[in-house]
Every structure is written in structure tokens, then in C-alpha cells.
Amino acid sequence: MFSGSRLALVGGGVFTLLLAFAAYGDLRTRRIRNWLVAVIAVSGLVYVALADSSGRGLLGSAEGFGIGLVCWLPFYLLGWLGAGDVKLYAAAGVWLGPARAVEGAVIGALAGAVLAVVWMIGVYGWKRSMSTLSVATAAPSILAQAPDGKEARRTLPYGVALALGALAAGWMPSSLLH
């Protein structure tokens, strides 16, 4: 997606920097700022308008935004993700369009699973993590609680995984769904 022209390369650089900044902020403060999400979405619209003057690109951006929202909104409603995570991925979907938004969501989910296991091992240790994961196969709600009884989702920077998924989808040479 971000190859073939100078505009594509510059767009890819901007996309990468914005998502890296969002991931760093989420890692550091566990928050993704609304102004940053807005910058990602608006810059995506500008990029798509410049890259595809036919207007079809803007429709694809709207579809990518919608897919990004639909993919992750249920997890927010269940209390598993923060609103910033959902908004971040929807804004990234503006850049990605529909097919790559789906691909990035799958990659982001896989990256999130790895991140969650690494985080668990860091917090609980290897033995307790494996025990908790084995119990979670029968009772997944156990994963929603941290050791002190607070909600665990507040401590896991899932925006990092979503940013990685979006970046992987954006920089893939071609979409797997086409």
C-alpha cells in the first residue's frame, strides 16, 4: 500500500509516525488522546484524497473506518478494551480501507494475544500465568480481573497491538483479501 510512489512512501511514513506516537502514549500513560485520533483520521482522508482523485478512495476510507469500528466496538462494550483503542483503530481504518482494515484487525488480535500473555507472565510469573490460562479456557471471565481486584484491561496497552496490526496491514506488499 505504501510503495510505488513518493506520495505513498511519505504517506506510509506519516502513518507509521502517528501510530508509533499513539502506541508510545498508550504504553506510557494507558491513554490514547482524542486529538491524536483526529489527526490520524484527518491525515488519512487527506492522504487518500491525494492518492486517489477519483473519489472511490474516500468511500474506501469510510468503509475502513466503519470496519475498524465494528471490529473492536464489541470488545469495548464488553469492557475488554478502552474507547481510545477502538477510536485509534477506526482512525487507522481511514488510511487502510476495508480489506486492509480487516487484515490489520486480525493481525492486531494476534499481536494482542501475544502482548497479553507476555504481560501476564511479567505480572504473575510463568507458573501462575499458565495456571490462570488453563482455568481461563473454562472460565474466561477470570482474565478480566487483576490480582488486586481492579479491572485488568486498564493495565494492558492494547493500542500497541492495534497499531502493530494496522502498520503490518498498511505495509504489506498486497492485500491478502483481493
Rounded (10°) CA dihedral 21, 177, 79, 82: 10
Category of 113 on φ-ψ map: left (φ > 0), alpha (ψ -120 to 50) or beta? alpha
Residue 149 counted as domain residue: no
| Residue at grid coordinates 488453563 | 134
Residue 115 counted as domain residue: no
Domain range for 43 is 6-109+158-171
Ranges of beta strands (E only) in 47-89 are: none
Q: Minimum mean pLDDT among 10-14, 49-53, 133-137: which range?
A: 133-137
pLDDT 10s digits, 40-70:
999 999 999 999 978 789 999 999 999 999 9
Residue 166 counted as domain residue: yes
Residue 24 counted as domain residue: yes
pTM to 2 decimal places? 0.86
The pLDDT-based confidence of 137 (bands split at 50, 70, 90) is confident
Minimal CA–CA distance to 165: which of 120, 102, 74? 102
Residue 35 counted as domain residue: yes
* Domain total in the chain: 1
Category of 99 on φ-ψ map: left (φ > 0), alpha (ψ -120 to 50) or beta? alpha
pLDDT 10s digits, 106-121:
999 999 999 988 988 8
Quick one: CA dihedral 16, 19, 24, 27, positive or negative? negative
| Position 150 pLDDT exceeds 70 | no
Report how far residue 1's alpha carbon sits from residue 22's, in angstroms, rounded to the nearest whole number. 21
Residue 145 counted as domain residue: no
DSSP calls for 81-93? S-HHHHHHHHHHH
Residue 117 counted as domain residue: no
Residue 73 counted as domain residue: yes
If DSSP codes are grouped into helix, strand and coil, which group holds residue 151? strand
Category of 60 on φ-ψ map: left (φ > 0), alpha (ψ -120 to 50) or beta? alpha
Task: Pick the more confident residue, 141 or 123.
Answer: 123
Cβ atoms of 113 and 162 within 8 Å: the answer is: no
